[in-house]
Structure 1
Amino acid sequence: MEYPLEEKIGDPELLVGREKEFRNFGKWIAGIPKRISKSRVILARRKSGKTSFVQRIFNQLWTENGQVIPFYLDIAENKIWYPHFAIKYYRAFASQYISFLERDKRLVSEHLSLEDIREYGLSKSIKSLVRDADFMIKENREGGMHGLMWDAACEAPHRFASLFEKRFLVILDEFQNLSQYIYPDPHFETRPIDTIPGSFHSLSESKIAPMLVTGSYVGWLIEIATKYLEAGRLSEIYMTPYLTEEDGLEAVYRYAEAYEEPVTNETAVLISRLCMSDPFFISCVMQSNYENRDLTTAEGAADTVNYEITDRHSEMSKTWGEYIQLTLDKVNDRHAKAILLHLSRHSDRYWTPKEIKEALGLEIGADNIRKKLNLLVEADVIEWGSSDIQFRGLQDGTLNLILRNRFEEEIATFVPDLRQEFQREIAGLRKENRRLRGTLNNLSGKVAEIQLAAAFRSRKRFSLSDFFDGVRDTARLNITDVRRRVLLQRDDGKNMELDVVAGSDCGRVAVAEVKKWKKPVTRTAAEDFAEKAERFSEQNPDKIVLPAFLALGGFTDDALEFCREQGIGTAEKIEHF
């Protein structure tokens, strides 16, 4: 897998889960060459992972170099002059197209100038590139035909697909920004051109260059799509910000490792549960500025999560604060906040204006309440039901926590004790110790290396024999450094890799191999590991090397006998979490 498009998530390994979504979109993409795939829109609130998701789709298609050519553009929240946006759009499309053809990763982000695009077109006899570049260079210099410049740009993927019998996927991230940040004058003194999304009215029906658009403000994006693209031209795909329980736990491990933040296997479960398996929430906790952050204890984890929700200077709180401020400007009054808080607390059912009036004892009329409800829907903080008089709070636990912290004291005259709630949840989890352990064991097949490394990091002093049978050296270790995937090199130049290397301050080093096979490890695999451990020992003559092998599928009798002869510790599961 190659990553020509730098993903906003950072380390590619931090994109965890989403198997169901990737399967769904994989089937959809497979239909593009057959011209049966309809344009789509991904609807999800901010920090839901949709940008990372579509960027990964781009990188997968670019790497495969198959029948579908990806084009990606982020519609930024920055003011831009109309002709400059047309040039920006076309340069991005042409550069990424050329990148795909020439396998030049650099051009995905470092877009060619119009002059360079023209030269490439001449060298490869691609007349369309030459004509487009000539037209844009001329009009950018002379001015006057900005609308035609934009038409040439936005129609390019469909036009090229038709001319050259190819298939494109047009990925436009934050599509709703097209209506607010593109201006008809270079000094931004007039209103933005809010009809720009209408340029894609017919293009959204293309089967040879279908669109995949995203938006963080769901109500706003739906309004734009309905107004300019007509209902049904984009299939609506809703993306939840929350992962499955198993994937959420994996995300905790991966973020902890990326940020070098110690966690125990127990607190990993607690963090995932308190953060509701929300990857953004988990990342905020791992990077939290909470002064007393300690994610190796249940109390420390709860305090850090509480800080991210309640402290206005935390990353989590600031991110949601900006969102709430933007969306509530139209309804910034006490009644609207009371309605929003009530619906967030009771998001398990739909409410009518009359029911809300009775439940809250509001002195304003049902019609006035309905107007406020309509505005809250437009602000993307509540949602409609099946009828125009049914409303429900968002099924979004993270947002509900923030709203409670922000408005509960103002509306209900008391401060919510979220930390106490977290502690109760932790106590409940500990009572379910068997279930907690089962969750960890079920995950071992996916991230056993990370779990073993986390166990080594979090335990103060232990003997390797606590984890592995047949260990000859039972000295107690004080681990000071744990690394994964440590590379070694043989004399013939071939690279080898050790899964986990844990150094103790006494000069001993535990080196572990982890196999997640369903079938038992054979003697050949054990011999290969013994060679790696020996090579590591030769390269570190001042260290006492303690080899160990974790095989989740077990060992053959021959392999187990070999390990015993060589003094290699063996285990089939992680005994001490």
Structure 2
Amino acid sequence: MIPFYFEIMEANQWLRDFSRDYFLTFINQYLAFKTRNKSYIQMMKDFPVAMKAAKKENFDDIAEWIYHVEKRFHNDSVNSLWVMVVDAPRYIVENSDNKILHMIDEFQHINRYIFKDQDCEKRIDKLAGTYFHTCEYRNAPFLVSGSWVGWLMDDLNKQLPGRFIKYPMGNMPENESVETIFKYAKIYNVPVTEQSAYLMAQLTEGNPFYIDGLFRSKNQNKDFTTKQGILETLEYETLSLNGSINNTWMEYLEAAFDKINDVHAKQMVIFLSKNRDRRVGHSEIREKLGLEMTDPELEKKLKALYRSDIIEEDSGLYKGVGDNIFDKIFRRSYSDDITSFITLEAPKEYKELIDKWEDKYKKAQGELNLYKGKYLEFMVWNHLEHAYKNQELYNEMFFGLPDGFVFEKFEKILSYTAPPLNTIQFQIDVFARPEQGAYALIGEVKNRRQDAPFTIDEAKAFVQKAEELVRIERIEKSILFVVSMGGFRNNALEYIKKNQIAWSSDDRWLVHC
């Protein structure tokens, strides 16, 4: 199965240029997969460059495809060019045992940003429909996704009926949310604590868009180490017109309301949002809002809101989206007393939420070992990033490093997960990718009590995972290490020493550098 990933950009594009980029993106990824040469993925989307690479790798059939697509690009109509390239992936593997997995992201943009003419004045509003037959072949299945689910589903229902099975992706579970927050904190160099990461995971409800928005926030007083600091950024992002989370949601809501074009739409969403903890029937909606319409007429309007992903449906009953942040953003612009909501109601509701989660965290602190482990991972990442500045300190914190070892700057430090197609699936807590010629550091991290030391079975499992990582990433020089705050069992330590693995139980890993 050869993966082909393509993201449809949110920018006006001429179909001729779009077709070229679509085809050459596939060719680059096909060559990279077949040769296991990652550099082809980043190769310029240019016909002569692709032709040179195909000939170099002796892919004569691919070179022939490039020749004919380029010829059509320069000489034929844009429609005939698109007809050729949209089916190219499945035709290329048709007479082989290979399959192509199309993964088209932001698919809802295809009917909005692709144009027939170079001046981008004649929008093609039914381009999604050109996949009607293409997406049904077993040798080239499709996965399509989009960040605006309502628009995406509307296009699929109208232009590709019966061609796709819907798999809604919910928010991340709590443990993945906390891990994501630690990774964002590392990437954006924004300090967090074990407790603040937990509180942010709860407030964002595991929604990656909200987590991303908080870390990217332009709020000048961004501080994620305190409860008040988190609230200030959350209020800025959702209640201020300068907040990116607010802007993105409002852009979507305004477009959705314009499309639905119904005078009662906002009233219905406000009513259902206020009652988002329960399901509401048609008769109650009509009565509370004073609507004079039949059930089928009301159902049509409610379905339009549901398909725009603004309300939820359950067995013919409706309720507001169960999302605290969306609720605040919507009411911030459409409530009866906006000033009171921004200055009093919303801050009060946010504070009640964070107080509730803080209380739960304190009561369950002893049970949150997973978060302790992720927090230590995060701290080790940060320490290793600065280790080259203080060689003496970090050589002192480790035992078992090679004589004369020198910490270098690392290209990247994060956890590592095996590629999906790898036969052995595993995760490494710390992978410090070196710059050329230096040692890679591969680490296992355990943040447990003294009565739960690191075991020999864990040590052996870690070595197996590390060896697989070295093989996959073709690491030339590496040092394995284990940081265990609960210490080590004697036989585990003997195994670690025998296999020349560095180790540490130093409390300073938990102190911000």
TM-score normalized by structure 2? 0.72
The alignment-based identity, stated in percent, is: 27
The answer to whether 1:239 aligns with 2:173 is no
Preserved contact between residue 236 and residue 242 of structure 2 (Cα < 8 Å): no
Residue 554 (structure 1) shift: 5.0
CA offsets, 1:328-375, max 9 Å, x none?
Answer: 224577732221022123234433332112233x25435664454243
3-state SS of paired residue (1:317) = helix
What is residue 275 of structure 2 aligned with on the other side?
346
> Pick from 74, 97, 110: which aligns with 1:178?
110
3-state SS of paired residue (1:162) = coil
Residue 550 (structure 1) shift: 3.8
The answer to whether 1:437 aligns with 2:365 is yes
CA offsets, 1:464-493, max 9 Å, x none?
Answer: xxxxxxxxxxxxxxxxx99xx99x984577
RMSD of aligned residue pairs (Cα, Å):
4.2
Letter matched to residue 251 of structure 2: E
Of stretches 293-302 and 413-422 in structure 1, the one that deviates more from structure 2 is: 413-422
Residue 173 (structure 1) shift: 0.9
Q: Counterparts of 2:212 and 2:108 in 1: how far apart (Å)?
A: 27
What is residue 399 of structure 1 aligned with on the other side?
326
CA offsets, 1:429-463, max 9 Å, x none?
Answer: 444455341354332234423368999xxxxxxxx
3-state SS of paired residue (2:138) = coil
3-state SS of paired residue (1:171) = strand
> Pick from 388, 393, 418: which aligns with 2:346?
418
Provide closer, same or farther for how the CA distance between residues 157 and 129 of structure 1 changes in structure 2, counting only shifts above 3 A: same
What is residue 59 of structure 1 aligned with on the other side?
none
Residue 210 (structure 1) shift: 1.0
Preserved contact between residue 92 and residue 111 of structure 1 (Cα < 8 Å): no
Provide closer, same or farther for how the CA distance between residues 436 and 287 of structure 1 changes in structure 2, counting only shifts above 3 A: farther
TM-score normalized by structure 1? 0.64
> Pick from 184, 188, 194: which aligns with 1:255?
184
Q: Counterparts of 1:268 and 1:125 in 2: how far apart (Å)?
A: 51
What is residue 473 of structure 2 aligned with on the other side?
none
Q: Counterparts of 2:256 and 2:510 in 1: how far apart (Å)?
A: 47
3-state SS of paired residue (2:335) = helix
3-state SS of paired residue (1:409) = coil
Provide closer, same or farther for how the CA distance between residues 135 and 365 of structure 1 changes in structure 2, counting only shifts above 3 A: same
What is residue 336 of structure 2 aligned with on the other side?
409
What is residue 76 of structure 1 aligned with on the other side?
9
Preserved contact between residue 289 and residue 314 of structure 1 (Cα < 8 Å): yes
Residue 244 (structure 1) shift: 1.6
Letter matched to residue 288 of structure 2: A
What is residue 448 of structure 1 aligned with on the other side?
376
What is residue 195 of structure 1 aligned with on the other side?
126
Q: Which has the higher contact order (CA 8 A, sep 6+)?
A: 1
What is residue 226 of structure 1 aligned with on the other side?
157
Structure 1 spans left out of the alignment, 5+ residues: 1-67, 456-480, 500-511, 526-547, 561-567
Structure 2 spans left out of the alignment, 5+ residues: 384-392, 414-429, 431-442, 460-481, 495-503
Letter matched to residue 556 of structure 1: N
Residue 96 (structure 1) shift: 1.5
CA offsets, 1:113-142, max 9 Å, x none?
Answer: 223434455555544334333323333333
CA offsets, 1:351-400, max 9 Å, x none?
Answer: 3332112233x25435664454243234331244444xx43323333322
What is residue 137 of structure 2 aligned with on the other side?
206
What is residue 85 of structure 1 aligned with on the other side?
18
Preserved contact between residue 334 and residue 411 of structure 1 (Cα < 8 Å): no
Residue 322 (structure 1) shift: 1.8
Provide closer, same or farther for how the CA distance between residues 292 and 414 of structure 1 changes in structure 2, counting only shifts above 3 A: closer
Q: Counterparts of 1:411 and 1:78 in 2: how far apart (Å)?
A: 33
Provide closer, same or farther for how the CA distance between residues 432 and 382 of structure 1 changes in structure 2, counting only shifts above 3 A: closer
Summarize the alignment of residues 3-18 of structure 1 with structure 2, pairs less than 5 Å apart. none
Preserved contact between residue 200 and residue 229 of structure 1 (Cα < 8 Å): yes
Preserved contact between residue 27 and residue 50 of structure 2 (Cα < 8 Å): yes
Residue 101 (structure 1) shift: 2.2
Summarize the alignment of residues 157-556 of structure 1 with structure 2, pairs less than 5 Å apart. 157-190=89-122, 192-231=123-162, 233-240=163-170, 242-331=171-260, 335-360=264-289, 362-366=290-294, 369-387=298-316, 390-409=317-336, 417-432=345-360, 434-450=362-378, 490=402, 514-515=445-446, 520=454, 550-552=484-486, 555-556=489-490
Letter matched to residue 212 of structure 1: L
